[in-house]
Amino acid sequence: MRAWIILVMLCFGLAAQADEVSICYNYDCAATARVNLRAYQLLAARRLLLRATDAVEERKAISLVIGLFEVAAGRQTPTWADKGRNVNDDGVDGRMDCIDEAANANSYLRLLESKDWLKYHRVLEPVKRAPLLVNDHWAARIVEQMTGQEFAVDSWFFDNGQPAFVVPLDEWLAGAEPNEE
């Protein structure tokens, strides 16, 4: 009987486990918060990544996981109100510019990397493009281990919780944006 009780307690303990990540919002990381990613959210992320049988599929999974973690963060912070780009959420508590989005995506990616859940990619520091002197734009960045090709992971274009835009870095640096039909 005692073993059964210990087993039940362990199961409940595992179900309650969470990983804490730092995020920021309100443009230029003016506000910060600690977000707890619950065991079921981490399990969903893990399952998405485990399905990837190559680097292309892993990038698709990364895109989805970023959206999943944004939803989790939005349940604990005002970031649920964030709209894509910077036009539709001006002045709203929880809004995020590309600096916030890049920092947060980088935090999520670092968590995945720390758990050894990325089989085909490594996480690099965020990257900036500056097509105009006053038009800097930031994104998280990953590199495919086998080829060395770098990719931007950019969640700024979409509302909170949507999959991130993952594109080869050279295309992103040239100004690539998602096709929003």
**Residue owning tokens 């990325």:** 118
Asked if residue 157 belongs to a domain, the reply is: yes
Structure tokens of 20?
């804490």
Phi, psi (deg, nearest 5) at residue 18? -145, 155
- Strand positions, DSSP E, 29-146: 31-38, 121-129, 137-144
pLDDT for 13 = 46
State residue 17's pLDDT score: 64
Range of the domain at 48: 19-173
CA–CA distance, 55 with 146 (Å, rounded to integer): 9
Between CA 155 and CA 98 the distance in angstroms is 8
What pLDDT is attached to residue 130? Answer: 84
Q: CA-CA distance, 174 to 172, in Å (whole number)?
A: 5
How do the pLDDT tens digits run along the chain, 181 residues long?
Answer: 555 444 444 444 444 567 999 999 999 999 999 999 999 999 999 999 999 999 999 999 999 999 999 999 999 999 998 998 887 777 899 999 999 999 999 999 999 999 999 999 999 999 999 866 667 899 999 999 999 999 999 999 999 999 999 999 999 999 999 985 4
The span from the CA of 52 to the CA of 56, in Å, is 8
pLDDT at 86: 82
For residue 8, tell me if it sits in a domain: no
Identify the pLDDT of residue 16: 52
Could you tell me if residue 55 is inside a domain? yes
The total of structural domains in the chain comes to 1
Please check whether residue 103 lies inside any domain of the structure.
yes
Any domain includes 179: no
Residue 178 domain-assigned (yes or no): no
* pLDDT at position 69: 98
150 within a domain of the structure (yes/no):
yes
Question: What three-state secondary structure class fits 145?
Answer: coil
The answer to the question of residue 6 being in a domain is no
pLDDT at 2: 55
Alpha-carbon distance of 35 to 136, in angstroms, equals: 27
Say whether pTM exceeds 0.85.
yes
